[in-house]
Amino acid sequence: METYGKILLIAMPIFLGLVLLEKWYGWAVKKHPFRTMDTLSSMSSGYTNIIKDVLGISISILTYGWMVEHLAIYKIESSVWAYVVAFIALDFSGYWVHRLSHEINFFWNKHAIHHSSEEFDLACALRQSISSFVNLFTIFLLPAALLGVDPQVIAVVAPLHLFAQFWYHTVYIGKMGILEHIIVTPSHHRVHHALNPEYLDKNHSQIFIIWDKLFGTFQEELPDVPPVYGITRPAHTWNPIKINFQHLWLLIQDAYRTQSWRDKLRIWWMPTGWRPADVMEKYPVAKIEDPYHFQKYAPPASKKLLVWTWFQFLFTFALINYFFLHIAQIGSPLIFVYGGFIFLSVFAYTELMDRNPYAWIWEGVKNAIGLWLIYQTEWFGMSTSLPWATFVLAGYFLTSTLIVWMFSKLQIEKETDTHYQEESVLSH
């Protein structure tokens, strides 16, 4: 937990810097629009994912350590070869976990967040799940367990394997010659993120593209079929916490509403997107049928709202850095309180990004809890090393409540009322 937090203290600024560098390049050189809210939503999803991972809020039904202890038929010593085998085993496992997440209704919920951006950029690589609380897929590490690869080796290689999947989320790198036959490239992964029928559910490999070619899921990027990004049932929100559970909520509703007991049971394990016939007819869900003609999610945002959202995002970044720096001193159970506060912060400011007129309520709740935490914990011991910082935090919580209330009441509600009045006039 503490070690991973220290790794993220280094990795987070690097990822943030690379995301902004790519966006600057696209805007200044390629003249592509900078969709600020989409980028901030993606990076905010990264916040929630790293907090969940650092806190270890998930369990494995079958642990890798148990598999090594009971199933190993050979013992690879901790050498270079052990790390090579571990990397290949993680990549094999990653392919199957990824593929099943695309092919089975229940498992799609934990992966939909990653595909929910309607852009393909380094930021969308950070859209990672918080909705998986039980790990059912350790079994795919069986090859490494049979060879007796030490669990500590897997623990070291796993974050490296994950970070190595960041770079290929970009439209600014074309095909890469001979590497196209060996590793996953941006071209391969553009296909994977596309919702075009020709590309849907292809290229599940994570580092080595051989798995797709071996198991029949490979698709080359076609010169006459430009990839269109997103999911066929658009999220229509910038709130990553909502996106993480949208598909699960639809499955729960469908299982409750269908009259067929058979469908109530099988809906979870059917192919992704399957719905009972009676529910689909009575409760249709918007779906993109033509990938070349649909409107991307883009609620209007004033310059003031953009500036304020950036401030909220960066302030949260600072709070997360303090958390990772002092996670050992904060200790349990307060680390879970701190993590919960970060989740609430992300929820609150992304509700404002969505122009929810009730965003001020979420912001008010968050800030009231923040003030209470200052009173109870002196912000998790911050006053010991930075006695002035708690006053800054208290000032932020009070000011933020007022600012978000002003956005909600004086801008969003006013514009919403005007919109409804215009629609009423047009309808008459």
Verify that 199 and 323 share a domain, yes or no: no
> Among 197, 215, 233, which residue terminates a domain?
215
Do 221 and 191 meet the contact criterion of CB atoms below 8 Å apart?
yes
Q: What is the rounded average pLDDT of the residues 60-77? A: 89
Q: What pLDDT digit, counting tens, does each position of 250-275 carry?
A: 999 999 999 999 999 999 999 999 99
- List, as one string, the DSSP characters of 113-167: HHH--SS-SGGGGG---S---EE--GGGGHHHHHTT--HHHHHHHHHHHHHTTST
Q: Does 141 or 421 have the greater pLDDT score?
A: 141
Instruction: Identify the band that residue 19 occupies on the pLDDT scale cut at 50, 70 and 90.
Output: very high
Verify that 100 and 210 share a domain, yes or no: yes
Verify that 322 and 211 share a domain, yes or no: no
Give the chain's mean pLDDT.
Answer: 93
How much is the pLDDT for 284?
95
> Among 187, 215, 243, which residue terminates a domain?
215
Residue 243 counted as domain residue? no
Range from 149-158, 176-185, 230-239 carrying the lowest mean pLDDT: 149-158
Residue 285 counted as domain residue? no
Residue 242 counted as domain residue? no
Verify that 185 and 322 share a domain, yes or no: no
Verify that 309 and 170 share a domain, yes or no: no
Verify that 323 and 209 share a domain, yes or no: no
Q: What pLDDT digit, counting tens, does each position of 365-405 carry?
A: 999 999 999 999 999 999 888 889 999 999 999 999 999 99
Q: What is the rounded average pLDDT of the residues 80-107? A: 96
Residue 244 counted as domain residue? no
Verify that 70 and 208 share a domain, yes or no: yes
How much is the pLDDT for 1?
59
- List, as one string, the DSSP characters of 153-220: HHHHHHHHHHHTTSTT--SS----GGGGGTB--HHHHHHHHB-STTTTT----SSBTHHHHHHT---P
Q: Compute CA 388 distance to the chain's CA centroid, rounded to the nearest angstrom.
A: 34
- Max Cα-Cα span within the chain: 79
Q: Does 136 or 178 have the greater pLDDT score?
A: 178
Verify that 123 and 7 share a domain, yes or no: yes
Residue 255 counted as domain residue? no
Q: What is the rounded average pLDDT of the residues 73-79? A: 85
Residue 98 counted as domain residue? yes
Where in the sequence is the domain holding 110, given as residue range(s)? 2-215
CB atoms within 10 A of CB 421: 10
Q: What is the rounded average pLDDT of the residues 182-191? A: 98
Q: What is the rounded average pLDDT of the residues 317-337? A: 95
Residue 366 counted as domain residue? yes
Verify that 187 and 333 share a domain, yes or no: no
What percent of the chain shows pLDDT beyond 70?
Answer: 96
> Among 215, 234, 261, which residue terminates a domain?
215
Range from 4-13, 146-155, 221-230, 416-425 carrying the lowest mean pLDDT: 416-425
Q: What is the rounded average pLDDT of the residues 347-369? A: 97
Verify that 317 and 190 share a domain, yes or no: no
Q: What pLDDT digit, counting tens, does each position of 280-325 carry?
A: 999 999 999 999 999 999 999 999 999 999 999 999 999 999 999 9
Residue 245 counted as domain residue? no
Q: How many domains does the chain have?
A: 2
Q: Is the pLDDT score of 105 beyond 70?
A: yes
